[in-house]
A and B are shown apart, each in its own frame.
Chain A
Amino acid sequence: MNIVVCLKQTFDTEAKITLDAGGKIERKGVSLIMNPYDEFAVEEALRLKEKDGGEVTVISVGESSAQDALRQALAMGADKAILVDPGEAELDEYATATILAKAISGLEYDIILGGFRAIDDGSAQVAGRVAEILNVPVVNVVTKLEVEGGKAVATREIEGGSELVEVALPAVFTAQKGLNEPRYPSMKGIMKAKKKPMQKMTLGDLGLEGQVAAKVKALSYSLPEPRKAGKIIPGEAAEAARELAKLLREEAKVI
């Protein structure tokens, strides 16, 4: 069983988001992590490998700092990593998926996994687009995955419940929270990670130099309004509760 996991390096969930002078998201001084949904995907790949054998390849499109996220996956137990540096190319979901699909098309795969969305831009498009380009089925928002005899049975989260689907392999699956509990990389895993292959590719290596460009362009970014200070309603409980209900209805307009 050959498994490919697409992963993305994102801002730490606790990172404070600010905009730079040019109105772009400030990346300096922010700690970076593996997208948590991709961590579920990596964990699932490792569990499948531990059960049925095979090889897990992790792949990312990003600048050289993204190596850290790939290395974390290697430390968790993935076998090899591929980092495609997009260089100066502007990326959107289409461009990223095109690059990923091209790189994956050169690999042998039975299963492709990824998080159902990244916690930064949250577009939830890339894995589906990769499936489309590779012409394989995609099952998204998976909370349980069982693989046997060339097909997979997956549990998907749907509104108000869950759905059990069957699909022939190869196929793409996107991970939702609940799929598993990702392991901590072991210390031995960390020490071994640096000896595992980390292949670095450029768009030129993939024959995509000058071939991919974003189709969607971000015009501007804005931050939410800063949270206003809370209001304390003084007085006896019954009276304060009445006042609270009134404010919730008339001022906050939530009830």
Chain B
Amino acid sequence: MDFNLTRDQKMIRDVVRDFAEQEIAPRATEIDRTGTFPLDIINKMSEMDLMGLPFPEEYGGAGADYVSYCLAVEEISRACGSTGLTYEAHISLGCMPIYLFGTQEQKKKYLTMLCRGECVGAFGLTEPEAGSDAGGTKTTAELDGDEWVINGSKCFITNASYAKFVTITAVTDKTRGRKGISAIIVPTDAPGFTIRSSYEKMGLHGSNTTELFFDNVRVPRENLVGNLNEGFKQFLKVLDGGRVAIAAMAVGIAQACLDASLKYAHQRVQFGRSISKFQAIQFKLADMAVNIELARLMYLKAAWLKDNGQPYSKEAAIAKLFASEMATRAALDAIQIHGGYGYMKEFPVERYLRDAKLLEIGEGTSEVQRLVIARQIGC
């Protein structure tokens, strides 16, 4: 048993923390208020090879492990949830399907572009009628000669406005239910492909959330990712990895809640002493610290299992469930500790709440995580 990070992991965490504190955190309020996509930050992250962090060098990646990637997600999310989600979706959803299931040619062509940060990665899974029930996918892809003809729509798709292509799931065999779904790479400039970004969201305002519309979109047959009709199996694997990273993101936001609350509690004086001296405040801070520590250990364990080629579906679901729910609680407590000021936009904690809440929903709701865990323990 060894709880130490490796030297590489530690240095990656420290460098990303330093970068996030210097370059991202000062921009977070403005990104939230204006809803500006942090493209300039993403470009700086590309220069540091963060956009391909856990992928092999032959595809332009940095060759680090999944633990390192999750540590980076935590640090970036601690500074800015919107930037954290942009990064997480790029790696976990944009790059990962191609890395895990793509052909050598697809990896060379698409994964390399993503790792180099030439564009941001996106994954089109959710549909208006297919959320937790991803088997309910309605978008279709039919072969016409050597081309797929795609029709349908997707919703809540992260990053697509800044993507050059989106990996989407579509029904390729209507008679086989979930075993008739495939993943296909669709260039965003393909005729008939429309991307709309007009959601008004509660939080994560700088993250680009889109709807995708396909009207007889034609792509070459070789854009199929992996084997035909294996899309369902593939995205379950993709989501497993994503959940670990979402847990890391939740830990980052919760840590930001604790940082802000601790600072405020020391400064704020009531009844002649700093409120950090009051047990009512101390207990909230202690609970926050406890939950953060536990959630961090859990995502690190899940990521470690993944790095070591061991099964980690259950651990990923546990990490995501616990971390996302505790992050929302941490944000609520952070607001409570800040009192009236916490309710004001002048302080960052109301943003943390709005950003954290999504993590109980995206990449599998808390309810789905409980289902996954229940099945894994033998229900």
Q: Which residues of A contact B (CB under 8 A)?
A: 68, 71-72, 75, 184-191, 193-194
CB contact under 8 A between A191 and B18, given known A71-B7, A71-B11, A72-B11: no
Q: With a CB–CB cut-off of 8 A, which chain A residues contact B64? A: 187, 190-191
Q: How large is the interface on B (under 10, 10 to 19, 20 to 34, 35 or more residues)?
A: 10 to 19
> Do A184 and B48 touch (CB < 8 A)?
yes
> Do B62 and A188 touch (CB < 8 A)?
yes
Q: With a CB–CB cut-off of 8 A, which chain A residues contact B7? A: 68, 71, 194
B361 CB–A CB distance under 8 Å: no
Interface of B is mostly: helix
CB contact under 8 A between A185 and B57, given known A71-B7, A191-B63: no
> Do A185 and B47 touch (CB < 8 A)?
no
Residue of A nearest to B60 (CB): A188
> Do A184 and B19 touch (CB < 8 A)?
yes
Q: With a CB–CB cut-off of 8 A, which chain B residues contact A188? A: 49, 57, 62-63
Contact of B8 among A184, A186, A194 (CB under 8 A): A194
B39 CB–A CB distance under 8 Å: no
CB contact under 8 A between A184 and B18, given known A190-B12, A191-B62: yes
Contact of B50 among A71, A187, A191 (CB under 8 A): A187
B356 CB–A CB distance under 8 Å: no
B332 CB–A CB distance under 8 Å: no
Q: Which residues of B contact A (CB under 8 A)?
A: 7-8, 11-12, 15, 18-19, 47-50, 53, 57, 62-64, 68
Shortest distance from the beta carbon of A230 to any chain B beta carbon, whole Å: 12
Supply 8 further A-B pairs (C-beta < 8 A) apart from A75-B15, A186-B62, A190-B62. A71-B7, A184-B18, A186-B48, A187-B50, A189-B49, A190-B11, A194-B7, A194-B8
How far apart sit A87 and B68, CA to CA, in the bound complex (Å)?
34
Residue of A nearest to B18 (CB): A184
Instruction: Identify the interface centre among A186, A189, A191: most chain B CB within 10 Å of its CB.
Output: A191
Q: With a CB–CB cut-off of 8 A, which chain A residues contact B57? A: 188
What are some 8 contacts across the A-B interface (CB < 8 A)? A186-B48, A186-B49, A187-B12, A187-B48, A187-B53, A188-B57, A190-B64, A191-B62
> Do B63 and A185 touch (CB < 8 A)?
no
Q: With a CB–CB cut-off of 8 A, which chain B residues contact A75? A: 11, 15
Q: With a CB–CB cut-off of 8 A, which chain A residues contact B62? A: 186-188, 190-191
How far apart sit A189 and B50, CA to CA, in the bound complex (Å)?
11
How far apart sit A193 and B7, CA to CA, in the bound complex (Å)?
10
Closest 7 pairs (CB-CB, A-B) = A187-B62, A187-B49, A188-B49, A188-B62, A186-B49, A186-B48, A190-B11
Q: With a CB–CB cut-off of 8 A, which chain B residues contact A71? A: 7, 11
Q: With a CB–CB cut-off of 8 A, which chain A residues contact B68? A: 187
Shortest distance from the beta carbon of B274 to any chain A beta carbon, whole Å: 11
> Do A191 and B48 touch (CB < 8 A)?
no
Q: With a CB–CB cut-off of 8 A, which chain A residues contact B12? A: 187, 190
How far apart sit A191 and B12, CA to CA, in the bound complex (Å)?
9
How far apart sit A72 and B12, CA to CA, in the bound complex (Å)?
10
How far apart sit A191 and B55, CA to CA, in the bound complex (Å)?
12
Shortest distance from the beta carbon of B64 to any chain A beta carbon, whole Å: 6
Q: With a CB–CB cut-off of 8 A, which chain B residues contact A185? A: 11, 15, 48
Instruction: Identify the interface centre among B8, B11, B49: most chain A CB within 10 Å of its CB.
Output: B11
Q: With a CB–CB cut-off of 8 A, which chain A residues contact B50? A: 187
How far apart sit A199 and B7, CA to CA, in the bound complex (Å)?
17
Residue of A nearest to B48 (CB): A186
How far apart sit A111 and B49, CA to CA, in the bound complex (Å)?
30
How far apart sit A126 and B62, CA to CA, in the bound complex (Å)?
37
Q: With a CB–CB cut-off of 8 A, which chain A residues contact B15? A: 75, 184-185, 187, 190
How far apart sit A75 and B8, CA to CA, in the bound complex (Å)?
10
Residue of A nearest to B72 (CB): A187
Shortest distance from the beta carbon of B95 to any chain A beta carbon, whole Å: 14
Shortest distance from the beta carbon of B205 to any chain A beta carbon, whole Å: 26
Shortest distance from the beta carbon of A198 to any chain B beta carbon, whole Å: 11
Shortest distance from the beta carbon of A95 to any chain B beta carbon, whole Å: 29
How far apart sit A35 and B98, CA to CA, in the bound complex (Å)?
42
Instruction: Identify the interface centre among A71, A72, A190, A194: most chain B CB within 10 Å of its CB.
Output: A190
Q: With a CB–CB cut-off of 8 A, which chain B residues contact A193? A: 11
Residue of A nearest to B10 (CB): A68
Residue of A nearest to B23 (CB): A184
Q: With a CB–CB cut-off of 8 A, which chain B residues contact A190? A: 8, 11-12, 15, 62, 64
How far apart sit A126 and B11, CA to CA, in the bound complex (Å)?
28
Q: With a CB–CB cut-off of 8 A, which chain B residues contact A187? A: 12, 15, 48-50, 53, 62, 64, 68
Residue of A nearest to B9 (CB): A190
Q: With a CB–CB cut-off of 8 A, which chain B residues contact A189? A: 49
Shortest distance from the beta carbon of B164 to any chain A beta carbon, whole Å: 22
How far apart sit A186 and B60, CA to CA, in the bound complex (Å)?
13
How far apart sit A187 and B54, CA to CA, in the bound complex (Å)?
10
How far apart sit A191 and B57, CA to CA, in the bound complex (Å)?
10
How far apart sit A189 and B19, CA to CA, in the bound complex (Å)?
15
Q: With a CB–CB cut-off of 8 A, which chain A residues contact B19? A: 184
Shortest distance from the beta carbon of B105 to any chain A beta carbon, whole Å: 24
